[in-house]
Protein backbone atom coordinates (compact mmCIF):
# COMPACT_ATOMS: atom_id res chain seq x y z
CA UNK A 1 0.00 0.00 0.00
CA UNK A 2 1.37 3.42 -0.90
CA UNK A 3 0.59 6.73 0.72
CA UNK A 4 -1.07 9.58 -1.08
CA UNK A 5 1.50 12.42 -1.28
CA UNK A 6 4.14 10.06 0.13
CA UNK A 7 7.09 12.48 -0.14
CA UNK A 8 5.20 15.33 1.47
CA UNK A 9 3.89 13.13 4.28
CA UNK A 10 7.44 11.87 4.83
CA UNK A 11 8.70 15.47 5.20
CA UNK A 12 5.95 16.43 7.67
CA UNK A 13 6.44 13.25 9.71
CA UNK A 14 10.19 13.88 9.77
CA UNK A 15 9.56 17.33 11.21
CA UNK A 16 7.18 15.92 13.83
CA UNK A 17 9.65 13.20 14.83
CA UNK A 18 12.44 15.78 15.16
CA UNK A 19 10.22 17.88 17.44
CA UNK A 20 9.35 14.88 19.58
CA UNK A 21 13.04 13.90 19.84
CA UNK A 22 13.95 17.45 20.90
CA UNK A 23 11.04 18.26 23.25
CA UNK A 24 9.80 14.85 24.30
CA UNK A 25 6.31 14.34 25.73
CA UNK A 26 4.40 16.42 28.26
CA UNK A 27 3.85 19.84 26.73
CA UNK A 28 0.60 21.43 25.62
CA UNK A 29 -0.41 21.22 21.97
CA UNK A 30 0.40 24.92 21.54
CA UNK A 31 4.08 24.25 22.33
CA UNK A 32 4.31 21.52 19.66
CA UNK A 33 2.43 23.75 17.24
CA UNK A 34 4.95 26.55 17.70
CA UNK A 35 7.83 24.10 17.27
CA UNK A 36 6.17 22.74 14.11
CA UNK A 37 6.07 26.25 12.66
CA UNK A 38 9.81 26.64 13.28
CA UNK A 39 10.60 23.17 11.92
CA UNK A 40 8.42 23.73 8.84
CA UNK A 41 10.14 27.02 8.07
CA UNK A 42 13.57 25.41 8.53
CA UNK A 43 12.60 22.56 6.20
CA UNK A 44 10.86 24.89 3.73
CA UNK A 45 7.54 23.09 4.15
CA UNK A 46 4.71 25.40 3.05
CA UNK A 47 2.19 25.39 5.88
CA UNK A 48 -0.71 27.09 7.61
CA UNK A 49 -1.77 26.82 11.24
CA UNK A 50 -5.30 26.82 12.73
CA UNK A 51 -7.06 26.81 9.36
CA UNK A 52 -10.85 27.11 9.38
CA UNK A 53 -12.48 24.64 7.01
CA UNK A 54 -16.20 24.96 6.23
CA UNK A 55 -18.53 22.07 7.04
CA UNK A 56 -21.58 21.26 4.91
CA UNK A 57 -24.68 19.35 5.90
CA UNK A 58 -26.96 18.25 3.05
CA UNK A 59 -25.52 20.97 0.87
CA UNK A 60 -25.98 23.72 3.47
CA UNK A 61 -22.91 25.42 4.87
CA UNK A 62 -22.93 25.29 8.66
CA UNK A 63 -21.94 28.22 10.88
CA UNK A 64 -19.49 25.95 12.72
CA UNK A 65 -16.18 25.20 11.08
CA UNK A 66 -13.57 22.51 11.48
CA UNK A 67 -10.27 24.02 12.59
CA UNK A 68 -7.27 22.10 11.30
CA UNK A 69 -4.22 22.41 13.54
CA UNK A 70 -1.80 22.27 10.61
CA UNK A 71 -2.00 22.02 6.84
CA UNK A 72 1.24 21.24 5.02
CA UNK A 73 1.81 21.63 1.29
CA UNK A 74 -1.74 22.97 1.00
CA UNK A 75 -3.23 19.47 1.17
CA UNK A 76 -2.10 17.44 4.20
CA UNK A 77 -3.92 17.97 7.47
CA UNK A 78 -2.11 17.17 10.72
CA UNK A 79 -3.70 17.29 14.13
CA UNK A 80 -1.59 17.80 17.24
CA UNK A 81 -2.49 15.46 20.11
CA UNK A 82 -0.86 15.54 23.54
CA UNK A 83 -2.29 12.43 25.11
CA UNK A 84 -0.66 9.16 26.15
CA UNK A 85 -2.89 7.03 23.92
CA UNK A 86 -5.45 7.65 21.19
CA UNK A 87 -9.00 6.84 22.21
CA UNK A 88 -12.00 6.13 19.98
CA UNK A 89 -12.79 9.87 20.05
CA UNK A 90 -9.44 10.84 18.53
CA UNK A 91 -9.61 7.98 16.04
CA UNK A 92 -13.04 9.20 14.89
CA UNK A 93 -11.74 12.77 14.66
CA UNK A 94 -8.82 11.66 12.48
CA UNK A 95 -11.05 9.63 10.17
CA UNK A 96 -13.52 12.52 9.80
CA UNK A 97 -10.84 14.74 8.37
State the pTM of this model: 0.82
Is residue 82 within 8 Å of 27, Cβ to Cβ? yes
Domain locations along the chain: 6-96
Instruction: Report the C-alpha gap between 77 and 97 in whole angstroms.
Output: 8
Burial environment of residue 12 by CB neighbours within 10 A (0 to 12, 13 to 18, 19 or more): buried
Strands 47-57 and 76-78 turn out to be: unpaired
Q: How many other β-carbons are positioned within 10 Å of the β-carbon of residue 96?
A: 8
Q: What is the pLDDT of residue 42?
A: 98
Instruction: Report the C-alpha gap between 64 and 74 in whole angstroms.
Output: 21
Per-residue pLDDT of the chain (97 residues), as tens digits, is 777 899 999 999 999 999 999 999 889 999 999 999 999 999 999 999 999 999 999 999 999 999 999 999 999 999 888 777 778 887 777 676 5
Amino acid sequence: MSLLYENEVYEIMGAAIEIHKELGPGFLESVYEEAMIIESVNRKIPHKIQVQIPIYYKGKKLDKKFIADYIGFGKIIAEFKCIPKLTKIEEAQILTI
